[in-house]
């Protein structure tokens, strides 16, 4: 055999091995999805969600539930006008809450952009309130993986306890499950024991079937929480998306034994909205998920609304 023929033979062997490896990777994700029913119909999910809420939501409109929901809030400021001064003031209100309302549990976390993590870390005095940062090219996720890794590492170094990232929606919708999952796994490796919340941006996914698939793949890749939305896309959180995601969390738990948290975010504008998501979590996942270690609400305006209901008078504390 000539050198040229040897080279061609080796080239074809390498290409064959790469093809097999790519096929194996593709099969890995198909096999993961194949363990779950992802063939969902949007109209059926809407009917099931409505039935569940019609049956159970009213009974959860109680003072105790509202106090619990307040303690599940990721109190969020993600504005282009955020400054060190405004974020410091925002954090000081959370500190003041413990002094002014000692009988109530504080919010679960303060959620800010990564460049504000150090300000929150240096200002925060309230016990048991975490620091969460959006990261990874939030809200579009459209940047280099290396930039996402660096941003996440810097946020954690600056004091973040939790990281909220967005899946690369374009990769998911084009069927590049490997690219999507590899990125989540890489960012989870950076987070280590710190919680990684993975935002699906459900309003951009287009169907209940896609929401179910994205939920499974995110959990499969190491997500500690799956989250509906950034709040920057319309529609944001919906009860139907929450139903599908909680169903996926339950099935994933039964398959693997690992509990993954749920966080609706974006468009949670009323106390009733919060009670709706509480009801879905309670009925689909059970009381084990009714802790702020497994259930969060991403919101800014809801804190004052819930507090007003709890105190029985209109208040603008935050």
Residue 115 contacts by C-beta under 8 Å, 6 or more apart in sequence?
158
Beta bridge partners of 73: 297
**Measured distance CA(23)–CA(14) in Å, rounded:** 14
Q: What is the pLDDT of residues 118-171, one digit of tens each?
A: 999 999 999 999 999 999 999 999 999 999 999 999 999 999 999 999 999 999
- Dihedral sign (CA 241, 135, 129, 98): negative
- The rounded radius of gyration (Å) of the Cα atoms in the chain is 22
The predicted structure's pLDDT at residue 12 = 43
Q: Which tens digit of pLDDT belongs to each residue from 174-224?
A: 999 999 999 999 999 999 999 999 999 999 999 999 999 999 999 999 999
Q: Which residue is catalytic, options 148, 197, 212, 263?
A: 263
Residue of 66, 197, 213, 227 marked active site: 227
pLDDT classification of 241: cutoffs 50, 70, 90: very high
Q: Rounded mean pLDDT of the chain?
A: 93
Residue 2: the pLDDT is 52
Catalytic residue among 74, 161, 164, 309: 164
Q: Do residues 279 and 57 make contact, with C-beta atoms less than 8 angstroms apart?
A: yes
List, for residues 251-307, the tens digit of each pLDDT value: 999 999 999 999 999 999 999 999 999 999 999 999 999 999 999 999 989 999 999
- Look up the pTM and report it: 0.91
Cβ-count burial 266-287 (b if 16+ within 10 Å, e if not): bbbeebebbbbbbbbbbbbbee
Q: How confident is the model at residue 11 (pLDDT cuts 50, 70, 90)?
A: very low
Half-sphere exposure of 40 (CA within 13 A, CB side): 27
pLDDT in tens, 93-121: 999 999 999 999 999 999 999 999 999 99
**Annotated catalytic, 224?**
no
Tell me phi and psi for residue 225, to 5 degrees: -135, 150
Q: Per-residue confidence at 8, pLDDT binned at 50, 70, 90?
A: very low
Phi/psi at 36 (5° precision): -130, 155
Does the annotation mark 164 as catalytic? yes
* Residue 19 a catalytic site member: no
The predicted structure's pLDDT at residue 300? 87
Neighbours of 239 (CB within 10 A): 19
């Amino acid at each position: 055999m000539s050198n040229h023929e040897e080279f061609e033979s080796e080239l074809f062997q390498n290409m064959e091995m790469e093809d097999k490896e790519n096929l194996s990777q593709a099969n890995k994700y198909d096999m993961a999805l194949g363990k779950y029913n992802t063939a969902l119909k949007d109209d059926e999910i809407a009917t099931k969600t409505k039935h569940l809420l019609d049956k159970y939501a009213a009974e959860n409109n109680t003072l105790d539930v509202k106090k619990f929901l307040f303690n599940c809030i990721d109190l969020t400021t993600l504005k282009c006008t955020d400054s060190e001064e405004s974020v410091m003031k925002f954090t000081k209100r959370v500190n003041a809450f413990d002094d002014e309302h000692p009988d109530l549990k504080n919010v679960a976390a303060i959620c800010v952009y990564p460049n504000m993590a150090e300000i929150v870390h240096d200002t925060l005095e309230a016990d048991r309130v975490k620091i969460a940062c959006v990261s990874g090219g939030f809200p579009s996720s459209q940047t280099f993986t290396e930039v996402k890794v660096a941003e996440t590492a810097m946020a954690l170094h600056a004091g973040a306890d939790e990281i909220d990232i967005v899946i690369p929606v374009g990769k998911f919708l084009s069927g590049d499950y490997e690219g999507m999952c590899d990125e989540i796994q890489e960012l989870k490796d950076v987070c280590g024991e710190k919680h990684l919340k993975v935002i699906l941006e459900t309003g951009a996914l287009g169907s209940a079937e896609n929401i179910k698939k994205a939920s499974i793949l995110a959990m499969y890749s190491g997500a500690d929480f799956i989250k509906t939305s950034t709040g920057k896309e319309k529609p944001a959180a919906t009860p139907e998306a929450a139903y599908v995601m909680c169903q996926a969390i339950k099935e994933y738990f039964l398959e693997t034994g690992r509990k993954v948290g749920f966080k609706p975010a974006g468009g949670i504008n009323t106390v009733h909205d919060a009670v709706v998501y509480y009801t879905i979590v309670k009925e689909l996942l059970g009381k084990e998920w009714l802790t702020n270690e497994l259930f969060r609400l991403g919101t800014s305006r809801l804190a004052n609304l819930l507090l007003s209901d709890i105190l029985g008078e209109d208040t603008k504390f935050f």
